[in-house]
Structure 1
Amino acid sequence: MPLNKDPQGGGSNIDGTKNKMYCSYCYQNGQFTSEMKV
């Protein structure tokens, strides 16, 4: 998801800070939300 469309403005790091590299649906609390294999 493009970060400009993310309602939370990005994911979250383990310390609670915002992570602008990944969206909030993919990255929460310093971890990816699901295991994806490519």
Structure 2
Amino acid sequence: MVRRCSSIHETFSNYKRECVELCVLQNTLYKKAVYELRDS
């Protein structure tokens, strides 16, 4: 299973997209951050 994300940076570096997807579903703030990072 994917572990809980503590921060968006930790999400990308430690858990990759899998944890990102999970966080996106659970937290709209993560979603916003993920989209901003993808645009960069």
TM-score (norm 2): 0.19
Q: Which structure has the larger Rg?
A: 1
Which protein is richer in strand relative to its size? 1
